[in-house]
Chains A and B, each alone.
Chain A
């Protein structure tokens, strides 16, 4: 690994009213940290909090509500992050009924998304099977998490795109009834939103394409190492424009913008009829294939696990190469893997500057690699020797 790329490390973590913790302070060394405990004791909650700081959402639940301790109105996750030779404090307060509030070095930032990029982390968890087997939205969410960790400003573009999309869909819906009498007036307003949709959408599509181009070789080679007897894995970007036969020739912004506008033009009547926006990055797909068959629906259980693992480890390599070596989080996954996949994962763990591994029992952890053992029992965390 390039010496110029800094390593990231979580040195301290504080959780207040987060899940089942009322006030928890932990200090972590570098290297491999095992967090062991039976189900429901709170071991995953610790890595969930670290992951939250890196992506601004839980890897387990869609809403923040379950993260806030029962009978409380807010929760705090605070961490001291070491980046190369610098230390940064980052914290976020999760609130019910009002906006979350984040700080860097105790200074409030206007929007929580401004802490993205402070702590980068890659989490691999049983939930990741959904990336392989779930709806396209799961794969878009996977891409978005990597993209915003690599280029934090993209989260602002995504938020703007989502807002424009909502406005445009609201207009399409309301225009449905009035369109016979008032088509010209609707078109005039619609084209204003088209412009913004195309502006933000083009930026997202170009970023996604670049991400997939960079990510694909890393994921493909990792997959080949984990599953040498399987058909080769490939990743490709199936953007919604290509489905509408307006595929951009290249992914330079001008070509994408032109194709996007053309596609909107072609779909106008259909969009008015259905009351929704039919083209744009909100309908993109990350296509995963093994040999010639799509992974979804065709891959075996073991192959699906291997693809999910390869996607996460490839993302880890990409961030490590282009930004900073992220924190590696393996949540309850060793027990799910066969010997070969376990061995491969253990090799990666051995190389990681900092890795967190949660498991129900010691046997589900690569014991020889662990430098720090934490035992979790009913929200009590104690350090112990092996």
Chain B
């Protein structure tokens, strides 16, 4: 154990994902030895990201404003929603330029092993959007793995009674992987070839 503030810093760093006790100690002593200006830049970046970046109040995508750039874009169709697991999937689909509607970011996939059930995802928010938004099609673009498939099946069942068309990306995506790893052409094709469920 180190004296007060040093140990506090080590403890805080140790709570970050992927940082173990040894790593936390190394980072702490790196910061202690670093140029004050470098440390200032780091603290600024941390402060600003917390102040400026939040989650879009409509879709849950990362955003610097109340609404993300996509939700605040008047050219985007209001009739289609593409449901993805993470914000990084929005980036991957935007690269294909295939989709003109808006997104809904769930914040993960159903995975009981990790203690994630439907209530831990932004599913209630999705159903609320579907209830009053004039939406005619929902595209389920969860990852092409077992958990993504389970989440899509679950959503399709929840949405079915609402009378909204539900489609799933065409197969052909590398199975077992993450959506973000699919190349643009493959992902674009999967989008075009989506089928109703």
Contact = CB atoms under 8 A, between A and B. Distances in A.
B154 A167 contact: no
Interface string B142-186: 000011011001100110000000000000001010000000000
Nearest to B110: A189
Contacts, number: 43
A61 interface: no
Nearest to A171: B112
A170 B111 CA distance: 9
Interface size class of B (residues with CB under 8 A): 10 to 19
B108 to A, nearest CB: 14
B118 interface: yes
B149 A189 contact: no
Contacts of B117: 171, 174, 185, 189
B48 interface: no
Interface in B114-156: 115, 117-119, 146-147, 149-150, 153-154
Interface residues of A, number: 18
B113 A166 contact: yes
A193 B150 contact: yes
A192 B154 contact: yes
Contact of B147 (A167, A188, A195): A167
A188 B176 CA distance: 24
Contact of A196 (B119, B149, B174): B149
A163 interface: yes
Contact of B118 (A111, A166, A185, A193): A185
17 contacts: A110-B174, A111-B176, A160-B146, A163-B146, A167-B112, A167-B147, A170-B113, A171-B117, A174-B117, A185-B117, A189-B112, A189-B117, A189-B154, A192-B150, A192-B153, A192-B154, A195-B153
Interface of A: 110-111, 160, 163-164, 166-168, 170-171, 174, 185, 188-189, 192-193, 195-196
Interface of B: 110-113, 115, 117-119, 146-147, 149-150, 153-154, 157-158, 174, 176
